[in-house]
Amino acid sequence: MYPWFPVVGATAYERGTLVITLIPTLTVNPLAQSINATWAGVATGLANGTQTNASITAAIDEMFRQSPYLTATNP
């Protein structure tokens, strides 16, 4: 694509949204100032009102449930 402009995007979330990003620390490149995320999850409207540890944990569990391609491995 010409001219070569960097691609920039913006996303708006409603107040009370929980955003989680997983970043493997082995891929962080401080010299190039680059960080690549492996996965991101969003729970909208979670913090609007009364939240408990159980409701936050349930929202995080749901993020992972909706990402069946993620698998656990032993380091």
pLDDT digits (tens, 9 = 90+) for 52-61: 888 888 888 9
Q: Looking at residues 30-56, what average pLDDT do you find?
A: 81
pTM of the model: 0.64
More confident residue, 4 or 72: 72
Per-residue confidence (pLDDT) for residue 1, from 0 to 100: 44
Looking at residues 38-49, what average pLDDT do you find?
78
Q: Percentages helix, strand, coil for the chain, rounded to the nearest 5?
A: 20, 15, 65
Q: Mean of the per-residue pLDDT values for the chain?
A: 79
